[in-house]
Amino acid sequence: MAYQTRVFSLLWRLLAPAGREGLVEDLAQETFLRVFRALPGFQAEGARLSTWILTIATRLGIDELRRTRPGHDDLAVAQQVASNASPERDAVARSEARRVQEAMGQLTADQRAVLVLSVYLELPHDEIAQVLACEPGTVKSRLSRARQALRDAT
């Protein structure tokens, strides 16, 4: 499916910092099941198909993040960042990735969602507002707070 990579990327970036990367495939599958079931009723008035699909995935991810679960110290992302350069550079890259992952894990679900949609998926503010069902001004303030929290934590 044309949107598979974007949905997986979105869900991974939402869930991995919270130690829930094992749920990415399940939530991606649930996203596409919901899309498949609701597609006959989809009306493109004011919304693109990609925005609608990302909305479903984002809401599933945020719902999962809002469920209380014990935290995990999974550094899979940090290990993937390591390059083939030198052991010193690998250690620095892993350390930086760990700090960013831990900082992302401290963000609220809404802050993490707006950051992922903006930075990683490069959606414009008005589209993010549609996905999150909020005003563009809310998107801007959440994004600003999320970026500040990351700067403070790293």
Residue-wise pLDDT tens digits, 66-97: 886 544 433 444 444 444 456 777 777 777 77
Residue-wise pLDDT tens digits, 15-71: 988 889 899 999 999 999 999 999 888 876 667 888 899 999 999 999 998 886 544
- From the list 6, 2, 8, the residue with the least C-alpha distance to 30 is 8
The reply to whether the predicted model has a pTM over 0.75 is: no
Give the pLDDT confidence score for residue 8 in this predicted structure.
94
Give the pLDDT confidence score for residue 44 in this predicted structure.
65
| Torsion angle in degrees (nearest 10) through CA of 131, 133, 138, 142 | -50
Per-residue b or e along 16-48, where b marks 16 or more CB atoms closer than 10 Å to that residue's CB:
bbbbbbebbeebbebbbeebeeeeeeeeeeeee
